[in-house]
Amino acid sequence: DMITAAGERESRCLAQCVEAYVKHGGNIIAVEEVSPAETHQYGVVAVGQDFGHTFEIKGMVEKPPRGQAPSNLIISGRYILQPEIFSLLGSIPKGAGNEFQLTDGMIELAKRQAFHGVRFDGRTYDCGSKLGFLTANLAFGLQREDLAGPLRQEIGKLLA
């Protein structure tokens, strides 16, 4: 449901995850800051000891009820996870949305292994919502040299 722009920014996010893994080991999750009003739509982490760009993850919750998120840092879909996650995913029950949730597997793994977060300063697009899907398409279209000009013209016509 989540995508992020490919290219230099995405490469940097993945490089930051690798740097965090080299520093901390264990499991690494890239996170993104969102408005507290949006946290109920995502997996959210609880922050432990803060190291600046990275931090210890003390807990996670998938799609918490409004106003009950442990932070406004959402799981952005970039991970370095230990192989044990695969056996855990086969044994967990369906979670939020009656779907198997990776976050639920990570919650189980966090009972046995350390997790650290990396603050990702890029932008992800939630393609699980209609608005997010449209926004992602516009953003990616505007980044393309061959489409940016014509797309701006079409948007202008729609707004006129």
Rounding to the nearest 10 degrees, give the CA dihedral for residues 8, 14, 16, 18.
-140
Task: Say yes or no: 76 and 151 in one domain.
Answer: no
> 30 and 109, same structural domain?
yes
Q: Are 18 and 57 found together in one domain?
A: yes
Could you identify the residue written with the tokens 């967990």? 92
Q: Are residues 42 and 107 in the same domain?
A: yes
Which CATH number covers residue 14?
Answer: 3.90.550.10
Q: What is the pLDDT of residue 123?
A: 75
Number of domains, the chain? 2
Measure the CA–CA gap between 56 and 48, rounded to whole angstroms.
5
Say which amino acid occupies 54: T
Residues 98 and 147 both lie in one domain: no
Write the pLDDT tens digit of every residue in 41-98. Answer: 999 999 999 999 999 999 999 899 999 999 999 999 899 999 999 989 888 887 767 7
Q: Are residues 73 and 94 in the same domain?
A: yes
81 in the same domain as 152: no
CA 41 to chain centre: 11
Please check whether residues 145 and 131 belong to one and the same domain.
yes
Of residues 13, 157, 22, the one with CA closest to residue 78: 13
Give the span between the Cα atoms of 41 and 48, in whole angstroms.
Answer: 22
pTM as predicted: 0.78
Domain containing residue 160: 127-160
134 and 80 part of one domain: no
Which pLDDT score, from 0 to 100, does residue 4 have?
Answer: 52
